[in-house]
């Protein structure tokens, strides 16, 4: 009697989650329609701050979509059994998050129907045009890679496709970082360090998303990951966090070395309106130091520790992106070095920004799309990690 009831309750909960995800997406579509009808005047964006909260969500989803695929790469390319079992779920999350991020970008254009123009007329001197190929190519490569993984007779081809996916995700994240690195209209962004910094940050953000989703799926199905494997994955998250923090520090130190960037760094790190607080408290403390302390702690690292560390990482990710994207635009552009430029467009003044409800709703809608795709995918197909842990396998995993 209890088993059918439990199955029926799980089915009802699944449809409740689908309904909740669909409701979030519907609200995001309504927000996008309102922004298209009334213009960006109903948002916190302006002539100076043209990339707002939706772009923060979109960039996070796209970068994390690349990083979450690292779990599959470690399994297929480097032959680590504990990660190989998680490769299908890793690929599903990559496609889901990439779809959510691109949907937010498209709807934030104001005229999403003109996407056809961007897909048929290319300016190959623009990094935005190149990204059209990178994003569509990522979908194709990961989709074929999942086919190789989940079709038994195609398994021998999984490693070559895994190598292709590994290379493509590095190129894609390089392209995302280069959007800012090549943007000469914003002196805050111009840096060759941005491409590798985004690649390293993607590893931590993607693994954090994966650990949260994996913990939820295991709890849903009454499964338990062996402590040695859990410890291994949480410790790897700590390594990625430390490496990402290193690159962020180097990026800011490089800016401080240039005299022309000194005022911008002071604005961002010391006396800006909200950005110093978000950077030091949000990213450095909550997003880096706290999860590293959890990851490298000698205490047992169970599912709760994995979820806690990953949640802090994601909070830090949004804080870092807010500081980077909004702060980089709020600081005035020095068009003529050594001179003062003044006009009716507030040249030389710091702009202000406050996210509006439509912006937040649209951004959260991207998360809703990723959530809905993942929930349905896990329910319909075999994306739950198929582990075969024996005593020898668990011991070997602990020593890797």
Residue range 76-135, pLDDT digits in tens? 777 788 888 899 999 999 999 999 999 998 887 766 677 777 677 777 777 777 888 889
Q: Which residues have a Cβ under 8 Å from the Cβ of 356 and sit 6 or more positions away? A: 42, 43, 44
CB atoms within 10 A of CB 259: 7
Residue range 336-362, pLDDT digits in tens? 666 776 666 666 678 889 999 999 999
- Among 177, 293, 298, which Cα is nearest to 242's? 293
How many angstroms separate the Cα of 338 from the Cα of each of 107, 260, 334?
40, 10, 9
As a whole number, mean pLDDT of residues 237-244 equals: 96
Q: Tell me, what's the pLDDT at 67? A: 94
DSSP H stretches of helix in 151-268: 158-181, 194-220, 227-257, 262-266
- Among 192, 349, 342, which Cα is nearest to 267's? 349
Question: In the predicted model, is pLDDT for residue 27 greater than 70?
Answer: yes
How many angstroms separate the Cα of 145 from the Cα of each of 8, 87, 92, 205, 378?
34, 10, 10, 22, 17
What gap in Å lies between CA 144 and CA 132, rounded to an integer? 19
Q: Tell me, what's the pLDDT at 202? A: 96
Residue range 37-85, pLDDT digits in tens? 888 889 988 888 889 999 999 999 999 999 999 998 888 777 788 888 8
Class level of CATH domain 19-399: mainly alpha
Higher pLDDT, 12 or 5: 12
As a whole number, mean pLDDT of residues 364-369 equals: 97
Mean pLDDT of the chain: 86
Contact between 66 and 169 under an 8 Å Cβ cutoff? The reply is yes
Both tokens of 115, joined, read 């996407």
Q: Which helix (H) or strand (E) holds 321?
A: helix 303-330
Residue range 258-304, pLDDT digits in tens? 877 888 899 999 988 899 999 999 999 999 999 999 999 887 677 89
Only one residue has tokens 């779809």, namely: 99
Residue range 134-146, pLDDT digits in tens? 898 999 999 999 9
């Amino acid at each position: 009697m209890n088993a059918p009831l439990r199955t029926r309750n799980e089915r009802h909960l699944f449809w409740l989650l689908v309904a909740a995800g669909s409701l979030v997406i519907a609200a995001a579509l309504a927000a996008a329609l309102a922004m298209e009808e009334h213009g960006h005047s109903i948002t916190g964006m302006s002539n100076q701050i043209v990339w707002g909260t939706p772009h923060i969500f979109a960039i996070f989803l796209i970068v994390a979509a690349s990083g979450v695929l690292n779990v599959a790469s470690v399994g297929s390319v480097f032959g680590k059994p504990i990660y190989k079992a998680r490769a299908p779920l890793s690929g599903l999350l990559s496609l889901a998050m990439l779809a959510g991020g691109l949907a937010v970008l498209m709807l934030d254009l104001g005229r999403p129907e003109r996407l056809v123009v961007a897909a048929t007329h290319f300016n190959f001197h623009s990094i935005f045009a190149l990204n059209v190929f990178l994003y569509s190519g990522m979908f194709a490569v990961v989709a074929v890679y999942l086919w190789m993984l989940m079709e038994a007779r195609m398994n021998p081809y999984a490693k070559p496709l895994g190598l292709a996916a590994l290379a493509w995700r590095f190129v894609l994240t390089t392209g995302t970082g280069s959007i800012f690195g090549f943007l000469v209209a914003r002196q805050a962004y111009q840096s060759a360090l941005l491409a590798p910094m985004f690649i390293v940050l993607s590893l931590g953000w993607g693994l954090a998303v994966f650990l949260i989703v994996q913990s939820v799926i295991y709890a849903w199905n009454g499964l338990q990951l062996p402590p040695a494997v859990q410890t291994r994955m949480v410790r790897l998250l700590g390594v990625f966090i430390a490496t990402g923090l290193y690159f962020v520090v180097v990026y800011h130190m490089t800016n401080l070395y240039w005299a022309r960037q000194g005022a911008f760094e002071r604005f961002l790190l010391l006396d800006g309106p909200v950005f110093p607080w978000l950077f030091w408290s949000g990213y450095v403390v909550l997003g880096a130091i706290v999860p590293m302390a959890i990851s490298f702690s000698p205490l047992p690292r169970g599912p709760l520790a994995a979820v806690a560390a990953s949640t802090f990482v994601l909070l830090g990710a949004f804080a870092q992106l807010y500081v980077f994207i909004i702060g980089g635009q709020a600081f005035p552009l020095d068009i003529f070095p050594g001179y003062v430029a003044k006009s009716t467009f507030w040249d030389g003044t710091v702009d202000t920004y406050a996210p509006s409800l439509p912006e937040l709703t649209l951004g959260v809608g991207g998360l809703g799309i990723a959530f809905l795709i993942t929930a349905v995918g896990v329910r319909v197909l075999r994306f739950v990690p198929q582990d075969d842990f024996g005593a020898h396998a668990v011991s070997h995993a602990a020593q890797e």
